[in-house]
Amino acid sequence: MSMADWRMQGVEFATCNCNWGCPCQFSALPSHGKCEAVVAMRIERGHHNAVSLDGLCWAGTFAWPKAIHEGNGRCQVFIEAKATAEQRAALLRILAGEDTEPGATVFSVFASTISEMHEPQFVPIEFSVDVDKREASVQIPGVLEASGEPIRSPVNGEPQEVRLVLPKGFEFIEAQMASGSFQSQGAIKIASQQNHSHFARVHFTGQGVVH
């Protein structure tokens, strides 16, 4: 059976409980021994075969008891309520790492480390993001709050601009490093204040990240 043709292009905001910069980005162990994270994306242009994904938002909460590569992770996915049944099915396939070459995207990599996948939720998602300003807000009423802001100098409070380039990255090629906070009351209850976050313009296909 041939793999479906799909593409997602848009803006991503992610925040986790690691220190700013996130040692996981450098193949090091997480700052506090475990990884807890929130990821959100607005799809500016996308499709799964003939199903358009333009304009949809999705978010996910994640928790691993140790480093991500050691597995035993948990995940819950949230998809915007306005998505049709066909769009929901398409996004769930993509986010589960299906229709993707093994290890080619963050979805495929994460899927290989997840042992407990909670029921997806189709809910209103309020998501605002500005990659260049390093500002974001994710709101799912009664379930999830997450925000991002620039890292600020401890000397004068000025916003700092730090970029990470991963030429062979499976999530992004370049991202802005920032500070993030989150609190989730969904199936995965996690919280973090003023720890790592990053902002990126991303472009995924089943063959990997588009350069």
- List Cα–Cα distances, 171 to 11, 114, 211, in angstroms: 12, 17, 11
Confidence of residue 211 (pLDDT cuts 50, 70, 90): confident
Percentage of the chain modeled with pLDDT above 90: 98
Residue 24: per-residue pLDDT:
92
Lowest mean pLDDT among 2-6, 114-118, 160-164: 2-6
Strand partners, 37: 16, 62
The residue-averaged pLDDT of 86-108 equals: 96
Residue 159: per-residue pLDDT:
95
What residue has token string 């380039």? 165
Give per-residue pLDDT as tens, 126-147.
999 999 999 999 999 999 999 9
Give per-residue pLDDT as tens, 47-64.
999 999 999 999 999 999
What predicted TM-score, i.e. pTM, was given to this entire model? Answer: 0.95
Given a cut of 90, is residue 197 above it in pLDDT?
yes
Please state, in angstroms and rounded to a whole number, the distance separating the CA atoms of residues 191 and 72.
19
Task: For residue 180, give every residue at least 6 positions away whose Cβ sits within 8 Å of its Cβ, in sequence order, or none.
Answer: 13, 14, 15, 16, 38, 136, 146, 147, 148, 149, 192, 194, 195, 196, 197
Given a cut of 70, is residue 1 above it in pLDDT?
no
Domain ranges of the chain: 6-209
Q: Which residue has the higher pLDDT, 3 or 88?
A: 88
Question: Is residue 142 within 8 Å of 168, Cβ to Cβ?
Answer: no
Give per-residue pLDDT as tens, 21-56.
999 999 999 999 999 999 999 999 999 999 999 999
